[in-house]
Amino acid sequence: MQKLIIDGGLPLNGETVIQTAKNAALPIIAACILTDEPVTIENCPHLNDIDAMLNIMRHLGCTAEFFGDNLTVCCRDVALNVINSDLTGKLRSSIFILGSILSRCRRAYISHPGGCEIGLRPIDLHISGLKGLSVKIVDDCGVICCDGTDMKSGVINLDFASVGATENLMMAGALLDGETVIVNAAREPEIVDLAEFINAMGGDVRGAGGSVISIRGVKKLHGSAYTPMPDRICAGTVLAAVNATGGSVTVKNVVPDHIFGITERLKKAGARLSVRGNAVRITADARPRPIHKLETNVYPAFPTDMQPQFCAMLARASGSSVIVENLFENRFGYTSELVKMGASITVKDRIAVVNGVSSLHGATLKACDLRGGAALVIAALAAEGRSVVYGVEHIDRGYECIERTFAELGGAIHRAEV
Ligand code: EPU
């Protein structure tokens, strides 16, 4: 067990290079099952969630090995082992693997991934989508048993533009005869990245990034080398931190279009931003300004995965902000930790009212989920005095060595054993 020790109050300055995206790399790893040839995922981030996904892949008989930052996955010998709850419990997005196993093997057995700290996270859209491709699915004491022997391509209309369900169905359709069409597909950049990866393996996916995606099944996919997209949430996390602490930082390896919803809100919160190619520079020299109403929604709206980090930033804004969380029913859990630092936040259901205070003070804090943990780090960097953040394993699920990123920018932050 580890903790982060943060002496706050220092501005952040310099430049940082953003890691590749966890939420792109995870479905890409799952999609490796679609081919029996080796795949190299270049510059794959080293994260707890990636390790959890690789453990599932190994359990299924695949090999997965890092050579430096490049991950090589080979799924020549896929075994139809039941993916037990000890594996799915570590990674809610383990359900993304169903589509690729079914496409390749026409059967799959996986324990229900269950809910997590941020919400119940049902999988009904994944299940109904796969049933729409004629997969027979029964729940046998918590194990989802899928029989895809009669699987057929078809048109799937998603009731909600779920990221994971869209990705699952794209993978499911990749090796099916005929055309699978997903209507009301999610439009997140990670969907486009997955489509590009499947196409790099010889697939035929069109329309990703729009709300109708067409997947024409091919007989076989081949190995490939692929670099996932930059992590837009890690970029946003650094930008929000700079607006909270003050300073001037250039964030490199970003796709500015991907973070438009974030940078526009940072401007509202008083930051100055400029874009040059794949780099964004932020300068903040005053207390953040409040944001009248900050509402999360599906891409291209403001992402739910940035809501906690913005809340931490707005905790010391020069006025009151209202945050509305539309995606996950329980994503304000971290706010009670911010209150320990002197923040004034009241939460009712999916709405948080944040009355900015002039300064936060250090405290002993516990991260209970990934983005909530990042919010605590931001608040601690901006606070006066020392904070200790426990539950670092949650932060390590999505940020590659978060303390190194902020220490290189001048933050007084280090990791220690508990
Ligand atoms: N939903 C259902 N039924 C389903 C699927 C989803 O009701 O079958 C609901 C969820 O409960 C949630 C909403 O739909 O309320 C959005 O879920 P979605 O399926 O779009 O999310 P996801 O695929 O489970 C991915 C990211 C999340 C990110 C969301 C939304 C990955 C691995 N995870 O999850 O990332 O918050 O999209 O953008 O891609 C994170 O990185 O911290 C994280 C939680």
pLDDT in tens, the chain (418 residues): 999 999 999 999 999 999 999 999 999 999 999 999 999 999 999 999 999 999 999 999 999 999 999 999 999 999 999 999 999 999 988 998 999 999 999 999 999 987 778 888 899 999 999 999 999 999 999 999 999 999 999 999 999 999 999 999 999 999 999 999 999 999 999 999 999 999 999 999 999 999 999 999 999 999 999 999 999 999 999 999 999 999 999 999 999 999 999 999 999 999 999 999 999 999 999 999 999 999 999 999 999 999 999 999 999 999 999 999 999 999 999 999 999 999 999 999 999 999 999 999 999 999 999 999 999 999 999 999 999 999 999 999 999 999 999 999 999 999 999 9
Question: What is the predicted pLDDT for the residue at 179?
Answer: 98
Task: Give the position, in ligand 1's atom list, of the atom nearest the Cα of 122.
Answer: 3
Q: How many angstroms separate the alpha carbon of residue 305 from the centre of ligand 1?
A: 10
Is residue 361 within 8 Å of residue 227, measured between CB atoms?
no
Residue 185: other Cβ atoms inside 10 A? 27
* Catalytic residue chosen out of the listed positions 44, 62, 75, 116: 116
- pLDDT value, residue 117: 86
Round to whole Å and give the CA distance between 169 and 132. Answer: 10
Nearest to 271 by CA among 243, 308, 234, 237: 243
* Cβ of 23 less than 6 Å from ligand 1: yes
Gyration radius of the chain over CA positions: 21
pTM exceeds 0.85: yes
pLDDT at 81: 93
- Sign, CA dihedral 256-48-6-303, equals positive
What's the CA-to-centroid distance between 13 and ligand 1, angstroms?
33
* E strands present in 267-308: 272-276, 279-284, 293-295
Q: Which atom of ligand 1 is nearest to the CA of 162?
A: 20
Query: In 3-state terms, what secondary structure has residue 62?
Result: coil
- Closest atom of ligand 1 to 127 CA is 8
Nearest residue (CA) to ligand 1, atom 32:
23
Residue 371 Cβ < 6 Å to ligand 1? yes
Strand locations in 35-173 (E): 39-41, 63-67, 70-74, 107-111, 136-140, 143-147, 155-157
- Does residue 406 line the site of ligand 1, with CB under 6 A? no
Instruction: State yes or no: is 62 an active-site residue.
Output: no
